[in-house]
Amino acid sequence: MAKLQRLATKEDGIVVVHNPVKEEELNDRKEKYKLLSDKKFAFRYNHMLFLPIEFTWNGNTHKIQYNFCTNPFCKWCGQEQVKFETVKGKPSRYKLEGGGKNSQKKLRCNPDPINPTIGMTLNCSPMTVSNWSVAEEISRLVRINQTKDVEPKYTFHKDSCVVGHLTPFDTPDNFYKQGKTLNNSQRWQCKICKKKTSILPNKRQSTTYRQKKNDILPMFAKLLFHFSPFCSIVLLV
């Protein structure tokens, strides 16, 4: 039986974007947001720019990370951010630059402090990308092209009914059929509490359920059938 369908929403979980930030880190950010200045707050949490994002779609988990060097001649091309803990000063593979009033934040390739004679870093400055925004856009594009079955919640019994757990889908013998509604959907009545409930029609029972009535086309056909002048048809329609 083909059920009525609706457009998919974010709550359906077709694509699940996983939060890369732990709950403790979120609480820390909320606390420091009130205490630190804008500049200090941005400097304290700028490492979160490099966090990859994971999302699940069709049972498969995918990882997104777009913040890396894109110069094919640079040593760091395609490499993720890393901090060299064994080197004095603990430098990182990339540093963050820009972000002024009229500029976008960029990465800057730092020299290799461990193997400076192997390969070359070219002081590249690729633009930064929000991995979270990319994952959310993927989720949106997948969602707008899918539909889900309408699953309404019915109440077939009164609160005091002794057979309140029964439904006409599983045990139709405990209900009376009380005809059809204007939408050609079935109406059921409990044999004990006498409560009547109408269910949604399926696609075969009603193809115009919840659709707005269109009076323009019937009126247009009626005017043509009565040989009305074209100018009058345009004004009326």
Give the model's pLDDT for residue 214. Answer: 63
Dist. CA 80–CA 93, nearest whole Å: 8
Q: Which of 24, 41, 45 is nearest to 33 (CA)?
A: 41
The per-residue pLDDT string of the chain (237 residues; one tens digit each, 9 = 90 and over) reads 567 777 888 888 889 999 888 888 888 888 888 888 888 887 788 777 778 899 999 889 999 888 899 999 999 998 888 889 888 888 889 888 876 666 778 889 999 999 888 889 999 988 888 888 899 999 999 988 888 877 888 888 998 888 888 888 888 898 998 888 877 788 889 988 989 988 887 767 666 666 666 667 777 788 888 877 777 766 665
Dist. CA 216–CA 208, nearest whole Å: 16
Beta-bridge partners for 56: 16, 61
Give the model's pLDDT for residue 212. Answer: 61
Give the model's pLDDT for residue 226. Answer: 80
Token duo for residue 167: 């439904």
CB 152 within 8 A of CB 200: yes
Domain ranges of the chain: 1-66+129-148, 70-126, 152-198
Dist. CA 73–CA 174, nearest whole Å: 76
Return the DSSP state at 94.
E
CB 237 within 8 A of CB 219: yes
